[in-house]
Structure 1
Amino acid sequence: MSQTLAPTLGEATIQELREAVRGAVFAPGDEGYEDASRVWNGEHDDRSPAIVVQCTGAADVIAAVGFARSNDLSIAVRGGGHSIAGFSSVDDGIVIDLGRMNAVRVDPAARRATVGGGAVWGDVDHETQAYGLATTGGLVSSTGVAGFTLGGGIGWTMRKFGLACDNLVAADVVTADGRLVHTSETENPDLLWALRGGGGNFGIVTQFEFTLHPLPSPVYAGLMFYPAETAPELLRAFRDWSETAPDEITGLVNLTTAPPLPVIPEQWHGKKVAVFVAVSTGPLEEGDTLVAPFRKLGEPIADLLGPMPYTMMQSLLDPLWPKGIHAYFKACNLNGLDDATIERFCTMHLETPGPQCEIHIHQMGGAVGRVPADGTAFSERSMPYVMNAVTGWHEADQDVAQSHADWARAAVAAAGDAATGRAYVNFLSEAGAARSAYGEEKYARLAALKTQYDPTNVFRLNQNIAPE
């Protein structure tokens, strides 16, 4: 990694920024620069920012945006740093890191949470669960609230509580011209509409306000592991069950390889398995009834469904996705799960190039589908499923990276006619997918708002929506 300053930035210029902000400023060669430059996805960990600003509040963000514009620097905004596509860092530009802005304040009477733009879902769950409350959060607790919410927010409680973006009721946003703008249903409502699924195109959110819902802990949740040969039967059962399952439960099927966890019999470690995952927001005593069809599929390898703390479920997958892992995702929305599509997915499951290649089939519907199609910027709500081809590996090897990306693309292609043509933007590793993800009508509305709030495309490191 280069240890020299970008040509346009002299030490005196950088010192001006240091004096303008209360947070830390790191340039190449500074102690702490290497750590400050690190992101979650190892595939994008070779970037060399000219400057990293660890902001402590909205004033720091405003100063950093002004500095970037004055010095013609590309801006990467980092919340939790989990961007699959690598948008959390940039070569020779500025990283505006919100990680220190992670405070969470809960108003239990109003059932509202005010959340800093750099918080991760573990921060939110820790505070809200103290009051027996929750809102839809990430599938890994270290996922940033900002990127997750702005892209939509598919999580374990979405069929009852809606997507994360559906629970966003207000926000403070630093715009491209350095203004701090508040948005809510009554103040700049067009901006709130865009933030609910339109990504980071419209500014830097320094503070979110979310609706909270009663969710006492423990919840009925967990996983059931089956042999790979059960996968077709499991997916057909999942399809049939999803048609009538109540909103209180959200399920997922994961075609994967058994990790070496103590809860899985050792003889199954490293072998292909099919996993049913579910979380219920309903009464604990109803949990067994809700998942009863899946206990009729034969003897599972491990049945881990039962009462558990909600925060445990929210962090259950954390050990499999540590910081520094190399990751590539590819996704599509599905209009259904016919038998032929199921068979193709099951074939792809057996042809993976590595042990952490997975096919996730997320159950949608419920509260997600009841929001009007044009009610938010989120791209599509009528689909019953979202398919995500997930890959992870630990070595920095281009051949390995290529083989994993090729497999993920082939797995999505296997959806065939079941794919709707839309995709969830948070599950996409390639940039340039916004138009196809949102569709022409919604993209046009977003582009008009982009022209209003960011006419020169200052915030372009995202699934970018170009100004008109």
Structure 2
Amino acid sequence: MAAQPDFKLALPPDFEGQVLKVGDHGYDDARLIFNMRWHESQPALIAQPANVADVQVLMRYASAHDIPVAVRGGGHGIDGTSMPHNQLVIDMCPFKEIVVDPTSRTVRTGAGVLLSELDAACQQHSMVVPSGTVSSTGIAGLTLGGGIGYNMRRYGATVDSLLACDVVTVDGRLVRASKSENSDLFWALCGGGGNFGIVTAFEYRLHPLDNIVGQAFLLYDLDEAKAMLLDLCTFMKTARRELSVIVILAPIPPMPTISPEHYGVAKMAVHAVFTGDLDQFDGVINEITALRKPSQVVKGQAPWVEVNRMLDNLAPFGRRSHLRGGYMDPAVDGVIDIITAGALRAPPSNHPAPSTIQNIWFFGGAISEDFEEDSVAFSRDGAVCMWECFAQWDTADDDANFQGWIDTIADELGPKLRANGYINLTTDRGQEWLRGAFGSSEKYARLLAAKAKWDPKNLLRFNKNLVI
């Protein structure tokens, strides 16, 4: 249990932003986060800084009085740690600056920017930062955990395009972190989470991406899942980098483009997104359907900003949620059998959106081949695919049912998953899990050294926390 701060102490008078406490107008809206399992949590104070100087004021105050601090970016973290009960929260939502420089192919963003906002700004110049797949996600938390999505095979993880960060340290200094300035801090921020300082702005390298891209949904019965997944494993080893594939196992929701006989039935959907030359799009999809004939194909062209929010319907903001995940290889004996058996025993739900989902993201290409494992804290070593199992529901009475479904599958898969993983797409499993998530013991030691240097009192503890 975190120490209870003494908020009889007044915030310094030079803090210019808004301070919200229980009962204030706007407090309940400000504390709303993605996972409603933590909705009863009531922070003692939610401080919304007006500028970087305000963040410095808050951190000097917290450091002087040994007050732990939580930080909210997009509020999308599965563990709900951005809004801890009876604690001080620094809400970075007001930091919405986005400055695109098409000449240098860089973009500077504030820590409160959402993926949808960043995509929209960059696409005005037919460019992109490789990021995530749910548009309500905050760019800050996504980046600090590593960042994977549809462009990872073409351009790498989000941190592979990160150039620099503006960081307020726990003692209130403003520093710049890059490969050439405070490089130990920069390395740790590239996947080590919010353990080291409060990032107020990020600078990224931009990459070309046409406004219109191709996508297809290919439906398969679950009894074909094993053969198709194994075929995809072979196919994706040599697939062009502009092709991204996510396999989704879930009950099919009512959709205008899907035949009604599939509604409510657990299926496997192959979601293919192609960002290359659209004259080649049909041929690429035909290569996939030639592996195994799907029961239905839905394909077309659409703006990137729409395609990159297609999964929003699978993870709407504001329901109770649980998530487990890890790196795996579908070719390992028993893996696919565990996943498909789990899909068949998923708890029923009357919600219009699928409430029980398993996703399998195929790695390869840039994220697997172009960047050294030790170049950033984020680990991707040996990852053939990333599996995630996600559920949403609406009442506390169903907590055990849906969480138990996920945990059973995850525990069965456990010995077959890699120790390293993507920390954003799983609940916190404790220190031993976290030690393995970053890969080698040498990388973990570097992270602990950065934590000891930049946050020795562990004031920034409301995260997947590195304990020194």
Q: TM (normalized to structure 2)? A: 0.93
Secondary structure of the residue that 1:89 maps to in structure 2? coil
- Equivalent residue for 2:351? none
Aligned 8 A contact 2:143 2:159 in 1: yes
In structure 2, do the counterparts of structure 1 residues 234 and 7 end up closer, same or farther at CA, with 3 Å as the change threshold? closer
> Equivalent residues in 2 for 1:269-288 (5 A)?
269-288=263-282
Deviation at 1:162, TM superposition (A): 0.6
> Equivalent residues in 2 for 1:50-449 (5 A)?
50-296=44-290, 300-338=294-332, 340-354=334-348, 355-369=354-368, 370-397=370-397, 400-415=398-413, 417-430=415-428, 432=430, 433-439=433-439, 440-449=441-450
CA distance in 2, matches of 1:431, 1:59: 35
Deviation at 1:298, TM superposition (A): 6.0
Describe the superposition over 1:248-295 as per-residue Cα deviations: whole angstroms up to 9, x where unpaired: 212111111112222222332211111111222211111222232432
CA distance in 1, matches of 2:301, 2:85: 46
Cα-Cα RMSD: 1.9
Describe the superposition over 1:412-468 as per-residue Cα deviations: whole angstroms up to 9, x where unpaired: 23335531222210012125242121242211110011111111111111111123x
What one-letter code is carried by the residue in structure 2 that aligns with 1:217?
A: N
Deviation at 1:227, TM superposition (A): 2.8
Deviation at 1:220, TM superposition (A): 1.6
Deviation at 1:311, TM superposition (A): 0.3
What one-letter code is carried by the residue in structure 2 that aligns with 1:395?
A: T
What one-letter code is carried by the residue in structure 1 that aligns with 2:416?
A: A
Aligned 8 A contact 1:217 1:309 in 2: yes
Describe the superposition over 1:29-55 as per-residue Cα deviations: whole angstroms up to 9, x where unpaired: 212211111111111111110000122
CA distance in 2, matches of 1:24, 1:105: 25
Describe the superposition over 1:43-91 as per-residue Cα deviations: whole angstroms up to 9, x where unpaired: 1111110000122321121122233334443311110000111121111
- Equivalent residue for 1:463? 464
CA distance in 2, matches of 1:333, 1:59: 40
Aligned 8 A contact 2:169 2:196 in 1: yes
Aligned 8 A contact 1:55 1:97 in 2: yes
What one-letter code is carried by the residue in structure 1 that aligns with 2:403?
A: A
CA distance in 2, matches of 1:430, 1:316: 26
CA distance in 2, matches of 1:151, 1:411: 24
> Equivalent residues in 2 for 1:25-40 (5 A)?
25-40=19-34
CA distance in 2, matches of 1:335, 1:276: 17
Aligned 8 A contact 2:248 2:357 in 1: yes
In structure 2, do the counterparts of structure 1 residues 464 and 278 end up closer, same or farther at CA, with 3 Å as the change threshold? same
CA distance in 2, matches of 1:37, 1:415: 35
Secondary structure of the residue that 1:379 maps to in structure 2? coil
CA distance in 2, matches of 1:314, 1:54: 29
Deviation at 1:103, TM superposition (A): 1.6
Aligned 8 A contact 1:263 1:302 in 2: no
278-287 or 410-419, larger mean C-alpha shift: 410-419
Aligned 8 A contact 1:54 1:100 in 2: yes
CA distance in 1, matches of 2:152, 2:235: 17
CA distance in 1, matches of 2:120, 2:414: 41
CA distance in 1, matches of 2:414, 2:47: 44
303-312 or 118-127, larger mean C-alpha shift: 303-312
Deviation at 1:376, TM superposition (A): 0.7
What one-letter code is carried by the residue in structure 2 that aligns with 1:359?
A: Q
In structure 2, do the counterparts of structure 1 residues 92 and 377 end up closer, same or farther at CA, with 3 Å as the change threshold? same
Of 38, 42, 50 in structure 2, the residue corresponding to residue 48 of structure 1 is 42
What one-letter code is carried by the residue in structure 1 that aligns with 2:356?
A: C
CA distance in 2, matches of 1:334, 1:319: 25
Give the length in aligned residue pairs. Answer: 456
Q: Which structure is richer in relative contact order (CA contacts within 8 A, separation 6 or more)?
A: 2
- Equivalent residue for 1:3? none
Aligned 8 A contact 1:223 1:303 in 2: yes
What one-letter code is carried by the residue in structure 2 that aligns with 1:251?
A: V
In structure 2, do the counterparts of structure 1 residues 431 and 411 end up closer, same or farther at CA, with 3 Å as the change threshold? closer
Aligned 8 A contact 1:232 1:342 in 2: yes
In structure 2, do the counterparts of structure 1 residues 229 and 431 end up closer, same or farther at CA, with 3 Å as the change threshold? closer
CA distance in 2, matches of 1:306, 1:202: 44
What one-letter code is carried by the residue in structure 2 that aligns with 1:168?
A: L
What one-letter code is carried by the residue in structure 1 that aligns with 2:417?
A: A
CA distance in 2, matches of 1:420, 1:200: 23
- For structure 2, the residue ranges without an aligned partner over 5 or more in a row are 349-353
Secondary structure of the residue that 2:201 maps to in structure 1? strand
Percent of residue pairs bearing the same amino acid type:
35
CA distance in 1, matches of 2:381, 2:33: 31
